[in-house]
Amino acid sequence: EPEVTQTPSHQVTQMGQEVILRCVPISNHLYFYWYRQILGQKVEFLVSFYNNEISEKSEIFDDQFSVERPDGSNFTLKIRSTKLEDSAMYFCASRGTSGGAPTQYFGPGTRLTVL
């Protein structure tokens, strides 16, 4: 069964450094998302991406964040200058078509630790 994959599974970085989190969505999906979950809190929407552009972003997704689909398979989240409060699990998700249930399929996540 197709699944969303994410790399790395765990990333440790120093405050102020740039990180890139990578995702390979399900191959025929058209809608892509990033969510995060700070330890002990709920899963929060960051950004959605469709037709090679951001379709919506949350207040969390400030100028330090960017997303890209550099080729036909990868979807990346870049944090330009990491802060301590960026430490969280980051989940990538993808969805197939518009219409019907908006079921999103999630990857296993990347645990980001900012020291």
Partner 1 sequence: DQQVKQNSPSLSVQEGRISILNCDYTNSMFDYFLWYKKYPAEGPTFLISISSIKDKNEDGRFTVFLNKSAKHLSLHIVPSQPGDSAVYFCAASEGGGATNKLIFGTGTLLAVQP
Q: How far is the CB of 50 from partner 1 (least distance, A)?
A: 4
- The one-letter amino acid code at 31 reads Y
Print the binding letters for residues 40-69 with partner 1: x by CB under 8 A, - otherwise: -xxxxx--x-xx---xx-x-----------
- The one-letter amino acid code at 5 reads T
Q: Looking up tokens 């929407």, which residue turns up?
A: 45
Which residue in the set 25, 26, 33, 82 belongs to the binding site for partner 1 (CB under 8 A)? 33
- How far is residue 42's CA from residue 22's CA, in Å, rounded to a whole number? 22
- How far is residue 83's CA from residue 64's CA, in Å, rounded to a whole number? 10
Binding site for partner 1 (CB under 8 A): 4, 6, 31, 33, 35, 41-45, 48, 50-51, 55-56, 58, 91, 93, 95, 98, 101-109, 111
